[in-house]
Amino acid sequence: MKFSLIGMSGSGKTYWSKKLQKKGFKVLRCDDLLEKKLGAGFKNLGYSGIRDVARWMGQPFDGRYAKKSQEYLTCEKKAMEDILSEAETCQNLIIDTTGSVIYLGNVILNKLSSVSKVVYIRADTSSIEKMFRLILKNLKPVIWGKSFNKNAGESNKQALTRCYPKLLEFRSKEYEKLADFTLDYRLLRKSDFIVEKFIELIK
């Protein structure tokens, strides 16, 4: 069995990949490989870890954001190409994607669908609000695509707050189009929802 987990950052992809790993699944985690792809140049700037990726990339209203976000997506695409190549030779595999996987283009997404069953973990209100707080503090790198614009007279925070629902709406539609299965965050967080139930739902 091969599964890919997709959804917003904070929806539980890594949480469930770790649980499935304990049941014998091999996990290929895009975030881990992405940090390696960013490489020594990233470390030379004094950055390390996913929070520092957010600092390096900045927010969509920052002057450097357009360039850095494209560099980020280029690295993510290379990371996913490596993961998908390895996935072809693996059994009992989980691919833990980033929230921005939907921006990588049809070649990557079609390959993801061909090598695995794609599982969309749909976030609930509490996890969405938590994610937005992290965005405001610039603790999570976020690809906004065409979902951000700043109106005259708006503060940066006001613009982020207004545009975040647009980002969620766009991404939700894209995740659902890509997914073979959709599972709700709240269902997966129930105390009696064990790994075996997860596997049974997506077989």
User: DSSP labels for 109-173?
Assistant: HHHHHHHSEEEEEE--HHHHHHHHHHHHTT-S----TTS----TT--HHHHHHHHHHHHHHHHHH
Q: Which residues of the chain have pLDDT under 50?
A: none
Alpha-carbon separation of residue 191 from 18, 106, 125, 197 (angstroms): 17, 37, 19, 12
What's this model's pTM, rounded to 2 decimal places? 0.90
Structure confidence at residue 41 (pLDDT): 66
Contact present, 142 and 113 (Cβ < 8 Å)? no
- Helix or strand holding residue 95 (H, E): strand 93-96
Q: Are 23 and 195 in contact (CB under 8 A)?
A: yes
pLDDT number for residue 199 = 85
- Amino acid identity of residue 142, one-letter, is V
CATH T-level assignment (fold) for domain 2-202: Rossmann fold (3.40.50)
In this prediction, residue 48 carries a pLDDT of 67
CA-based radius of gyration for the chain: 17
The pLDDT assigned to 105 comes to: 96
pLDDT for position 128: 83
CB 95 within 8 A of CB 83: yes
Strand partners, 181: 119
Strands of 93-96's sheet in order across: 26-29, 93-96, 2-6, 117-122, 181-184
- Calpha distance 138→146 (Å, rounded): 19
